[in-house]
Amino acid sequence: MSDLVLGIETSCDETAAAIVGEGSKLVSSVVSSQVDIHAEFGGVVPELAGRAHVQLIVPVVEKALGDAGLDTTKPSIGSIACTIGPGLVGSLLVGVSAAKAMAYAWGVPFIGVNHLEAHLYASFLADPELEFPMMVLLVSGGHTMLIHAKSHGDYVLVGQTLDDAAGEAFDKVARFIGLGYPGGPAIDKAAQLGDASLVRFPRPMIDSEGFEFSFSGLKTSVVAWARKHPDASAEDISACFQEAVVDVLVTKAIRAAREAGVSNLCIGGGVAANSALRAETERRCAEEGLRAFIPARAFCTDNAAMVAAAGWWRMQNDGPSVLSTGAIPNLRFP
Amino acid sequence: MSNQAISASGALTFRAEDLAGTKILARAIASIIRKGDVILLLGDLGAGKTAFVQLFGLELGVSDPITSPTFTLVQTYTGKLTIFHADLYRLGGGQDVVDLGLDEQADEGVTLIEWGDVGESVLFPDYLKLTIELAGKDETDEQPSCEGEPISQVGEPRLFNLEAVGASWAERLREIGLSEVEK
């Protein structure tokens, strides 16, 4: 049987499909926001709506199959992996229904994948030699967590945010200082032109016991400071804010790796595309004698290659999911 | 610690000096909540919308940590009642809000919607509108005064304006078991 996995992802804003071999070899990857599929439908497709996924799922899957040189009507693939949660039920259902229908029609196994577990597998796309155990800093718009990954499918939650995710703080600060949406890339870009020594924003919970995070207070602090300093540039505020977030994330991730006695530190999720977080993770890991695994930016943000990679390992360890598997909007991880 | 002023129309203003005060309000609202109820939460960044939902969830026996749904749009929690915790911050209003399908599941639990004003015109005919404002002193320090605490520890005074929209809340707001009514 083919070792190619078709991965499908529709849990949030992106409709995505990808082909990955043996859980780490990228063959093709298509993410709706990166291609001009919208034009085919003669207008702007609302990015957040479930119906956008409905319109995009078939062209995105066809493009992923086509880019991989596969027949789009009966491709030679070994299985289909799809995100079943967490996410919006209306969005998840589009991917899950499509994936199950194709699996049934093409006679290949269907594998349900947890979106958050999939983010962890982006690191295998970066480096197939990556070995357990490892500490994973999973940081995105919706989640901020530290996971001790002991082996495939064996995870321990070390800590997570008590309020806002780090990516959400990026987005809200960006909107407040007029940088627009999406805020993560905008802050990243502005910060490169800013002076990070202008003001020292708080590092919430950086020295606290345990590995919980909190970014709501930092967000409020930055917004309050910016209100009082209308002349401060967006570049400087971005640099100071970003430095505070990155300092907290990297400091706690490294301490978590040390305490767990692991020497591999992976980052994943949309915020892992941030230049400062990538550079600081690399630098502090080198200082501490840890190995840093940093996926390419395209595999930090939502994508289906990571879903295919996670699905391949899930299949090796647990076999396929039953076709009665449905979308699970509040699926927990671990 | 806290006080409220209630008007004949069923609107009510509640002042919470700190998080303990907010907790009193969360408990009072939780005591009159019914399956199918909808609460819209309004207020600027950092006003304490998510903090209110966290306290409200605790009152309903939710044990999972309640975090901000800004990116995930809707999060579901299980307590004495199911809680649908939504956030319209990223949505443009109109059809985007309708497509979330909040009205389709509302009967199965309690729906709390942050940045609810974004969807006010297209969503529900009957809801409690809870507007939160910071009522603290104006800080003028050069350095950030806030230590960046988790919201569960923030203690600034806040004003909560409760407004009943539609029939079902007006009566209940008058019955709400809050402390002394002060004008």
**Does A134-261 match A4-119+300-318 at the fold level?**
yes
Share above pLDDT 70 across residues of chain A, in percent, rounded to a whole number: 95
Q: What is the topology classification, in CATH, of domain B6-134+154-175?
A: Rossmann fold (3.40.50)
> Which residues sit opposite B129 in a β-bridge?
B40, B163
Q: What is the pTM of this model?
A: 0.88
Mean pLDDT of chain B: 82
CATH architecture of the domain covering A4-119+300-318: 2-Layer Sandwich (3.30)
Residues 6+ apart with CB under 8 A from A237: A173, A177, A194, A198, A222, A225, A226
Residues from chain A contacting residue B75 (CB–CB below 8 Å): 330
The model's confidence at residue A9, banded by pLDDT at 50, 70 and 90, is: very high
What pLDDT, in 10s, does the model give residues A18-33? 999 999 999 999 998 7
Other beta carbons less than 10 A from residue A145's beta carbon: 23
Question: Residue B181: is its pLDDT beyond 70?
Answer: no
Residues 6+ apart with CB under 8 A from B181: B3, B4, B5, B6
From B173's Cα to the closest Cα of chain A, the distance in A is: 29
Q: Distances in Å between the alpha carbon of A20 and those of A23, A28, A78, B168?
A: 6, 7, 10, 54
Q: What share of chain B is helix, strand, coil (3-state, %, to 5)?
A: 30, 25, 45
Mean pLDDT of A66-74: 96
Share above pLDDT 90 across residues of chain B, in percent, rounded to a whole number: 46
Amino acid A47: pLDDT: 46
Amino acid B143: pLDDT: 47
CA B58 to chain centre: 13
- Which of the following CATH numbers is that of domain A134-261: 3.40.50.10440, 1.10.10.10, 1.10.1740.10, 3.30.420.40? 3.30.420.40
What residue spans define the domains of chain B?
6-134+154-175
The model's confidence at residue A43, banded by pLDDT at 50, 70 and 90, is: very low
Which residues 42-71 of B have a C-beta within 8 angstroms of A? 45-46, 50-51, 54, 65, 67-71
What residue spans define the domains of chain A?
4-119+300-318, 134-261
Mean pLDDT of A232-247: 97
For B46, nearest residue in chain A (alpha carbons): A220
- Is B111 within 8 Å of B39 (Cβ atoms)? yes
Amino acid B137: pLDDT: 53
Q: What share of chain A is helix, strand, coil (3-state, %, to 5)?
A: 45, 20, 35
What pLDDT, in 10s, does the model give residues A270-284? 999 999 999 999 999
Whether residue A153 lies within 8 A of chain B, CB to CB, comes out as no
Amino acid B3: pLDDT: 53
Question: Residue A190: is its pLDDT beyond 80?
Answer: yes
At B170, the amino acid letter reads: A
- H or E stretch covering B123: none
Which runs of consecutive H residues, i.e. helices, occur in chain A? 50-67, 89-106, 115-126, 166-176, 183-191, 216-228, 234-260, 275-288, 305-318
Lowest mean pLDDT among A135-139, A324-328, B83-87, B166-170: B166-170
Mean pLDDT of A67-80: 96
- Is B62 within 8 Å of B54 (Cβ atoms)? no
Amino acid B154: pLDDT: 54
Strands A154-160 and B82-87, how do they pair? unpaired
What pLDDT, in 10s, does the model give residues B24-81? 999 999 999 999 999 999 999 889 999 999 999 999 999 988 999 998 888 999 999 9
Residues from chain A contacting residue B134 (CB–CB below 8 Å): none
Q: Which of B50, B68, B144 sits opposite A224 (nearest CB)?
A: B144
Mutate to test the interface with A, among B77, B78, B90, B115 (most CBs of A within 10 A): B90
Q: Which of B90, B99, B139 sits opposite A51 (nearest CB)?
A: B99
